[in-house]
Structure 1
Amino acid sequence: MPTRQTTAARHRADGRAHTVLTDARLTAAHNFSSATRRTGAAVASSGLAVSLLAAPALADDEVRTTAVDVSALTQSARAIVEAAPVVASPAEASWTFENPAVTAVTPPPPPPPVVEEEPEPEPEEAASRSRSAEPAAPAAEPAPAAVGAPAPASANGSAIVEIASSLVGIPYVWGGTTPSGFDCSGFTSYVYAQVGITLPRTSGDQRYAGVEVPRDQAQPGDLIWSPGHISIYAGGNLQVDAPTPGKSIQIREIWQSNPKFIRVG
């Protein structure tokens, strides 16, 4: 019986484990080697050469970068490459840059504006300006009338009219009730108080302080009332009153168109 020879199957030995990271590492090494060759060619074309030495040794199945191909360089360039020191950069090396100091410069201030001086005015013009700058002198006030006046003959000896006439010339003062100044109702109240008769303070109230009488029956010393004003009847067509601000107590004609005559007491 013939003998059958059996050949054992041959198997490939287990290789290094291949992962996605292995492909990435090989690609990076290949790119670095290509960049190194391009850099060497660029430097050689400019007449300079740089000797590059790869960083720490890679694995045996990885690309190793050693030096730039200098076969195409001139003799002088090759001498520079051979004499140049080898620079190695560790993988963990980092680049740093120094920021230059910046100094802020303040621009100079702008020049002051040019002020044109006004020419000196002529003497006549200067005198005119001086007069216009001076404050206007206040108008001279009329001299106050002498205090007191004789009672008119038409008063027929009325004590009230005599007292009222003695106050002629005292200035009108709004709200005044004393000889330092009177308003119309303050004046009548003061005069009547001198004979012992008390009157209300305002002219509107004094209208009702007595009895209204017809004009042809009025007697000196009666009150004469009109809206907003009151005075003392001095007989005939005269009255004594404190008129308006800026004036003083005076004896004057009855000017009211339809006054009311009030007898008090």
Structure 2
Amino acid sequence: MTARTSRGKHRAARRPMIAAPSAAAGRRAAVVATAGGLLVSTIGGATAAQAAPVDADAAQKLSTVDLGALTDQAREALESAPVVTVAAKAELDVEKVTAKSIEKAGIKAAPEPEPVREVAPSRSAERTAVESTESTSTETSTTETTSTETTSVPASAVGSSVISVASRYVGVPYVSGGTSPSGFDCSGFTQYVYAQVGISLPRSSSDQRYSGTVISRADAQPGDLIWSPGHVAIYAGGNSQIDAPRPGKTIQFRSIWQSSPTFIRLG
């Protein structure tokens, strides 16, 4: 053997080779230990692995791993892991949640929200408005209709020349600003009547208030004036008067409807 041949054999002895796994196994396993546990990895191969040169230091480290011990540890970990099994015919029983079961469990149910209701107009406000309208209407009606109207001269006024003249115009309509038998307002009527018995009166009711002497009601006689703010009439004795009250009305004998009127004697 020559020296060259001997050196070639020596190099071959120094370069270790890793044999490929057998084809019967069909795959090779690599186990890597990590700080948190074991990671077992199986790498399948359809064909046998080819031999490859491996560094001597790497081969020495790999040969120190106890593959059998690692496999036993992994098997024990899998066997000790809890396993849950369910029968094929197992039935699931779900308890219906009711108010009684919630109360029994000590759970307080949240209160149901109150339904939102539309705020209807206040009946009391409507009633107040109606009553106010009715009250106003009643007051006006009381003021105007509680006085008894008549076309005949009251017995207490028979013999009064002023009342005799005034009674001729019963039924004449009220006309604002009227001073004739075609239509009178309150002061136009009194001015017209008294002029026929020789007594001159101012045109307005406010001026007629100062045309005579104020007397008490007890001393009043038929033919005296009855004055109140904004209105004037002729006294007809008792609780009656003759006047032109307002638009829509006619001259009539009626009861005294003014509140606390002033009685005035003329002449």
- Into which bin does the TM-score normalised by the smaller protein fall? 0.3 to 0.5
User: Which structure has greater strand proportion?
Assistant: 2
Higher relative contact order (CA 8 A, sep 6+): 2
User: Which structure has greater helix proportion?
Assistant: 2
Q: Please, what TM-score do these two structures have when normalized by structure 1?
A: 0.44
Q: Please, what TM-score do these two structures have when normalized by structure 2?
A: 0.43
